[in-house]
Amino acid sequence: MSDDRYRKVPSGRISRLSSFGQMAGGIAGGMLVEGARKLANGERPRFSDLLLTPANATRVTNQLSKLRGAAMKLGQMISMDAGDVLPAELTAILARLRNSAHFMPTAQLNKVLIAEWGADWRRTFRHFETTPIAAASIGQVHRATLRDGTVLAIKVQYPGVADSIEADVDNVASLLRISNLLPSTLDISFLLAEAKKQLREEADYVREATQMQLYKELLADDPNFLVPTAYAPLSTQRVLAMDFIPGQSIEILETKPQETRDAVMTTLLGLVLRELFEFGYMQTDPNFANYRWQEDSGKIVLLDFGAARPVPDETADAYRRLMRAGLEGDSDALRDTLIDAAFVSPVALQRHKPALDAMIATLMTHLGKPGLFDFADRSFTDEVRQQVETIAADRSSWHIPPADTLFVQRKVSGTALLAIRMKSKMPLRDMVEQTLL
């Protein structure tokens, strides 16, 4: 393992604020360079063209992966939620945020574990691997073997992450405002408050252990999934110990036969439908790293339950009405539900009804057809992108749906992105019909 993956987590307010300042300065410098280049070529650059460049995306990605914590988590959310809206080259760069966190140096890791377990913590283990087997935004995971031979996965939270949530979210919001990516008239205060709340929950490993047990119970009747069990003697607010379940990255499926990819993605989409309409509870973080796959058993290992949350009845009902309207081919009912559930603002409907109706027609034509839906069909995505871009270009009509809807849609969209990545084919209409029976 090369040493460039190890970097101390900046845990103090001043050091983290300085990192945001360096990021903003680097973006501004990159814009000046790009602007000068375009002017020299006789072009009249637009602000968005200067801001959304591969070089700036790389700057943001690198800096957030060093910061970790809430800042990196928000970057991951943006990279996944953007889906096919951003240019492909920018999406590819931002996608690195899903699993590109740096590791804590061994000395910093030791300091964290001494604080949680005491100075003689190593006596508990026959072996503790100091090189992480995974690193994400909130913490990194180590494999360890107890004295009795039990193998555990130990998730260790980065120092200062919980205490920096408020400032990190506010700093990311400020960057979005300064960069003019968000209209000044768009009120995101409720969304920032909700983001801070969820990130505080994700940083509470005692809570996550409870959510993990809940999912183990919810899926007890489903042989397709494996959920770890928390190991209470070593679990604290900042360290989560659990039984180690072997598995490969879910992305390995890209190299497997079509029928294997289809089966796994059908299972994952089925889980989303159960979460939404049966459990009333959803793990809302669709980061690909949260899924592992066992080739021998065909089972899917589910990880990371910090973002698990209840689904309000009114949110589930809105999705139920949308799906029913789609199945019945009732475009008027679907449009009305989009407005009633605040997916779309009345202003957007008033100004862009033709584009909205065209998008609805495209969705109904492709998603509602019998037989297998091909997620590799890019013509469908391109059609929707054109219609979305027409509406999104009118920044004054931008609108943020309710927070609960956003979290659910994040899981739905993330699962769809994985299905696209796997080029899977699924009986989408049949699955929805069976769910709504």
Residue with tokens 């008027």: 332
Given the residues 168, 285, 304, 404, select the one marked as catalytic. Answer: 285
**Spatial distance between the Cα atoms of 223 and 217, rounded to a whole number of angstroms:** 12
| β-strands 300-302, 225-226 pairing | parallel
- Paired tokens of 99: 């699993």
DSSP-derived secondary structure for 78-111: HHHHTTTSS-HHHHHHHGGGGT-PPBPPHHHHHH
Q: What are the Cα distances from residue 162, in Å, to 121, 242, 264, 373?
A: 23, 21, 35, 42
* Contact indicator for 180, 47 with CB cutoff of 8 Å: yes
Looking at residue 230, its amino acid is A
- Paired tokens of 52: 């959304």
**Spatial distance between the Cα atoms of 426 and 48, rounded to a whole number of angstroms:** 37
How many other β-carbons are positioned within 10 Å of the β-carbon of residue 94? Answer: 21
* Contact indicator for 27, 21 with CB cutoff of 8 Å: no
Q: Can you tell me whether residue 210 is helix, strand or coil? A: helix
332 tagged catalytic: no
Q: Can you tell me whether residue 149 is helix, strand or coil? A: coil
> Which residues are the active-site residues?
285
